[in-house]
Structure 1
Amino acid sequence: MTALERLRHLMQPSSMGTFIDWDDIAVAYGTRFPSDYRNFLSVYGSGEIDGMLAVFAPSVDPYAPSRHTSRLPADVLDLPEVNEWNDPLHAELYGPADIMVWGETAEADVLGWITSNHEPGTWPVAVYTHGGEWTVYDCTMTEFLLQLLTGEFDGNPTGLTRLYGKGSAEFTTG
């Protein structure tokens, strides 16, 4: 059973997913996106998990009214604290310019992928805890969400104490 199939047992989609022209997105972003993320959006769309964790969709509209999947803004890349990593090896391998943000939490944690590898299916998840540092998780986005809900990480990867290990959640499209 895939992580997405397991997620569907813990978190029912609130409506239809979002249709996205992935070819247009690949051209606009200069890269393809991981298949698990594309499948997640086709089932759930963009929205929030228990009002605490937002999952973004990519957009070709630079004036899109809501948050969307994107690189970290240039002004953020210049902040020294954004280049803090919990593992010194990761600090040598990656930089904030490698991050593609796909979500955020109510605690101001940033969720993204490290996109330095050209194969999207291998992009690990990176989490920046508010006021902290980047931590890398060797899993897909859907595996990350599943492990967050089931409490399968060694410790809570975000500031969401009410969501970590909760076992089930409500997804609201938005």
Structure 2
Amino acid sequence: MSLERLKTILPVPEKIYGSGDISQWKEAEKELGSKFPADYKEFISTYGTGGVCGFLWIYSPFSDNENLNFFIRSKEENDAYIISKQKFPDDFPHSLFPVEGGLLPWGVTDNGDVLNWITSNNPEEWSVLVYDGGTGESYEY
């Protein structure tokens, strides 16, 4: 779905927080060690930090809220994944970013679903893997 189409469904807020400017995006990508997907950057630049309908929460590298900060939350999600993988390796088969094909968390739902990118050398080709917080199953998009 294009951002223009999304705007017809999800209006842009009047006040936008934590959207980042060009220099902030460069710093965030330097810290990450990779570029972010362009559609993610466009979404954060347009909508800023926050949630969608109080259910879907997309992490932003520019959020002052530690519960929504990309770098804080992705580290916490990765730490939890590592523990789960040690206990249940068959249920958690992926590696973590920066390994090729590794997971990189970018959001969460109120149901506890974790939204991850499956990374590659080209961020424009990253797919999405959702770990269902209720069942432990995963779904790739």
- Which of 49, 59, 73 aligns to 2:78? It is 73
Deviation at 1:65, TM superposition (A): 3.0
Unaligned runs of 5+ in 1: 86-90, 138-174
Percent pairwise identity? 29
Q: Which residue of 2 aligns with 1:5?
A: 4
Identify which of structures 1 and 2 has the higher relative contact order when contacts are C-alpha pairs closer than 8 Å and 6+ apart: 1
Q: Which residue of 2 aligns with 1:23?
A: 26
TM-score in terms of structure 1 length: 0.63
Aligned residues: 126
Deviation at 1:34, TM superposition (A): 0.3
Aligned residue runs from structure 1 range 6-155, under 5 A: 6-17=5-16, 18-20=19-21, 21-59=24-62, 65-69=66-70, 70-71=74-75, 72-80=77-85, 81=88, 84=91, 91=93, 94-96=94-96, 98-115=102-119, 117-130=120-133, 131-137=135-141
Unaligned runs of 5+ in 2: none
CA distance in 2, matches of 1:82, 1:44: 37
- What secondary structure, in the 3-state scheme, does the structure 1 residue paired with 2:106 have? strand
Q: Give, as a single letter, the amino acid of the residue that structure 2 aligns with 1:48.
A: G
